[in-house]
Amino acid sequence: MKLLRIFIYLLIISSLYGCAKDVAPSGGPKDTTPPNVVEAMPPNNSTNFNAKVISITFDEYITLKNVKSKLMISPPFKEEPEITNKGKKVIIKLKEELKPNVTYNFYFDDAIVDYNEGNPIKNFSYIFSTGDFLDTLSFKGNIIDAYTLQPVEDCIIALYANLADSAFRTSVPYYITKTDKQGNFTFNYLQDTFYNIYALKDLNNSRTFDLITESIAFTDSVLSIKDSMFVNLKLFTEADTIQQIVDKKVLQLNEAQIVYKLPPTNPEIKFYNKIPEDYDIIFNKTKDTVKIRTKGADTLSVIAYDNSKVIDSLTVVVDSEKLRSKNVLTILPSFATKQYYKTELYLNFNNPIDTMFVDSIRSIITVDTIVDTTYFKILFTDSLNLNVKIDCVPEPKTKYAFYLADSSLIDIYGLYNKDFSCVMTTLDEDAFGGIIINIVVDDEHVGESFDVILDIVGKNNVAVESVSLHLMDSVQVKVPMLSPAEYSVRIVYDCDADGKWTTGDYRTKRQPERVEYPKKIAVKSKWEVEETIKIGTPTILR
């Protein structure tokens, strides 16, 4: 009995001791630390390298993320090495003989990440030399978009020891790296020889310039690497001269749209199989977009031409139960809710109008506290009856509310409009500002004859005003009636005098036309800002 009591006491003490033991807390802060290299065999930066297998060990379990697309090896192998990971190791198996007296750089970018949280090791490289020393030449550079002058991230920068022009199109580069968010790049461990340098936005992971849609950059001359050298590149996309149809779609019941890739010279649309009972073919101003309105056809089969050459044959379904269920007659005003008062007013329809049961639109006009109701005539302005003009001469600082009653209009498909209303408040000149630009040609270029394009650029890099100038001396440009906002001034050096920015061309080694953004200007209402811009200097202003 005594032994039993002793056993029970020991059991209780053991239980209490177990409850009091330290236990690792659950949860805690998220791990944001990338893995660290603890060992590499052969060691990183080895010389007289002759191994067939490389093993890199980290301080935690790792995995590889998109390693095939991210790993860049300089100089390249004909047969890609086998890259695998096992536990805490990355294993590289080489499948071909190494070149003698060459420094190799395995640049993993951020393809190595920890297993649990996916924290990447950024800009990780494994480097070795098959000779007695590592090559030590290096240089830095930056790349910007040739038109916007914004830095280009994740762009391949390539060095070719093969100086033939065809190398950029047919072979992978000898050395390769990528740009960061600021468009900066660095090359290290380079051989002392001559190189051509290129930039490439690689769309198909071929690491060669093999698609016309890939953006590129190149230097005008062969590169001889020097200490503290810095290279600036400007990325551009070549002009595509191959005409084709890039889009076809049904816009609504009985209406299709076809888009040419390039503005055609002499476009033509012809039907085949079946010609609709009634149709209209409408090209936009640049002729690259065409709308086809039809009647009496479920499906349109057409051939698109340019200069009598067949570009494509297309089929578009324009009549179905689904399209019929969604079909409505809509009215869209051409004016905004706040509008300069010297503006003509139009209403646009999505379908041609067959019958208009009214000849005027009701309007409630408010000036200060005085409210007046009147009617303005509405008149068709085009042969298809897709637009009407409101016969109204707006007054400044006035509120207009326009109304069309339900079933005032019927379109060619038998659809009636629903109640329509819209509001417009007019603004006078005091609501706007202006810019005066004094263009001064620098002393070195006074008397020279050259063309420039001056753009006033608003949101999304869109020009709200564009002026082509033929310069020999200073000139003044006035841009009135700008809404209050911040604008940029863009200067394009129009070398070919065609009135637009011209991109580069690799075959002829033509660089894109130079662009500058020398000023940002804040426009305020009732205020005219005057600025002076000096042009003709070789420096690109950002």
**Digit-coded pLDDT (tens) for 173-227:** 999 999 999 999 999 999 999 999 999 999 998 889 999 999 999 999 999 988 7
93 in Cβ contact with 121 (< 8 Å): no
Instruction: Give exposure, 329-356, as e/b (b: 16+ Cβ within 10 Å).
Output: bebebebeeebbbeeebebebbbbbeee
What class has domain 245-325? mainly beta
Classify domain 137-235 at the CATH topology level.
Answer: Immunoglobulin-like (2.60.40)
Report how far residue 289's alpha carbon sits from residue 490's, in angstroms, rounded to the nearest whole number.
Answer: 28
- 490: closest CA among 182, 147, 151, 238? 147
Average pLDDT of span 425-435: 96
> What does R_g of the chain's alpha carbons equal in angstroms?
34
DSSP state of 32: -
> Beta 433-441 vs 528-535: how paired, if at all?
parallel
For 328-430, CATH gives 2.60.40.3710
CA distances from 159 to 135, 199, 448, 510 (A): 15, 9, 38, 19
Q: What is the share, in percent, of the chain residues with pLDDT greater than 90?
A: 77
Query: How confident is the model at residue 219, as a pLDDT?
Result: 95
User: How is the chain split among helix, strand and coil, in percent rounded to 5?
Assistant: 10, 45, 45
Domains in the chain: boundaries: 37-129, 137-235, 245-325, 328-430, 433-535
DSSP state of 5: H
Report how far residue 384's alpha carbon sits from residue 294's, in angstroms, rounded to the nearest whole number.
Answer: 12
For 37-129, CATH gives 2.60.40.1220
Residue 196's Cα: distance from chain center in Å? 27
374 in Cβ contact with 363 (< 8 Å): yes
Place of tokens 């005539």: 377
**CATH of the structural domain 433-535, one choice from 2.60.40, 1.10.3470, 3.40.720, 2.160.10:** 2.60.40
Query: How confident is the model at residue 355, as a pLDDT?
Result: 96
537 band by pLDDT with thresholds 50, 70 and 90: low
pLDDT of 160 strictly over 90: yes
Report how far residue 499's alpha carbon sits from residue 492's, in angstroms, rounded to the nearest whole number.
Answer: 9
- How many CB atoms are located within 10 Å of the residue 18 CB? 8
Q: What is the pLDDT of residues 436-445, one digit of tens each?
A: 999 998 877 7
DSSP string, 170-215: HS--SEEEE--TTSEEEEEEE-SSEEEEEEE--SSS-SS---TTS-
9 band by pLDDT with thresholds 50, 70 and 90: low
Report how far residue 119's alpha carbon sits from residue 31's, in angstroms, rounded to the nearest whole number.
Answer: 8
Q: What is the pLDDT of residues 314-331, one digit of tens each?
A: 999 999 989 888 889 999
Place of tokens 């010389």: 47
Write out the two tokens for 440: 């001064």
Query: How confident is the model at residue 447, as a pLDDT?
Result: 74
Query: How confident is the model at residue 295, as a pLDDT?
Result: 83
